[in-house]
Structure 1
């Protein structure tokens, strides 16, 4: 049983580290990893007991996983408490996590760039600023417009993940 526990812990740790790459704190990654090895849905109390986290932390962690579409609230006859189970399709998990995180990042960056472009265009056309400031503003405008092209490309890439078209280019499973 100890060897089984070690083997599972190794995978749970790896999942937590991988999810950390996408801005998900390790404790939430550990929760997902633990749920992965359960064949039945779990209540918050069961998860709390297994991971030794407070019920508040557990509730927040489960809500995060729900928001990321990595767990589902499920119904089971005879249970009055909420039950949660992982979404078992790892391709879909990655797609959802990638899409949610990247769409948010794209939105933040585009909003910042658009506000800055507006200010830079005002600087460029305002006669109160000297010529050198106008030249620098023009250069910054070019850089930011080029960056907007990148975010357009990134949005289209996320579209390909969400539509499943990415699997036309990189199939889920290669048949030999």
Structure 2
């Protein structure tokens, strides 16, 4: 925290109190989306760093074990919220926050949604195939076929939703979403 070196004790205290409030808010927000509170706090702490940091530095800052810190950094890196960067004269990995909150949101949800869409579409497609087989083998059983046809229509509606969601994910990944909802400048 070199940037705080020239501040008075009162200035430092006020600034750190404000930062802690923001960091806590970031942690709680990320917790809502399935990221642990501690990883949210890690991101929040890194957000205020002026320079890239090592695992050891963040571990010391947050009072977390190096193993927990490594897991948190890996999670944030996998979500594209932090980058590994090169530091002259340093043999340790350095990390910095990707400060574009719009891109962080787009990447986070694209990763999560894409996985869910693929899983659910596979299950629905497999279920449709099974239902078609049941319909074919039960042609004489009108009541059963009627229920199967109803289920088939519901699954086809669900597939329409997932195809739409897939297009939404594409718009996040390509940046086209910002044509419809521009970023505030």
Q: Residue 70 of structure 1 contacts residue 86 of structure 1 at CA under 8 Å; is this kept in 2?
A: yes
Aligned with residue 158 of structure 1, among 169, 175, 185: 169
Q: How does 1:61-72 map to 2 (within 5 A)?
A: 61-72=72-83
2:37 is the alignment partner of 1:3: no
Secondary structure at 1:47 match in 2: helix
**Alignment: residue pair count:** 174
- Following superposition, the deviation at residue 159 of structure 1 comes to 1.1
Aligned with residue 36 of structure 2, among 14, 25, 32: 25
TM-score (norm 2): 0.87
Secondary structure at 2:33 match in 1: coil
User: d(CA) in 1 for partners of 2:123 and 2:140?
Assistant: 22
RMSD between aligned alpha carbons?
1.7
Aligned with residue 125 of structure 2, among 114, 118, 123: 114
Which residue is 2:4 aligned to?
Answer: none
Q: Which ranges in structure 1 are unaligned for 5 or more consecutive residues?
A: none
TM-score (norm 1): 0.92
2:49 is the alignment partner of 1:49: no
Which residue is 2:146 aligned to?
Answer: 135
Distance 1:169 1:128, change over 3 A: closer
Higher Rg of the two aligned structures: 2
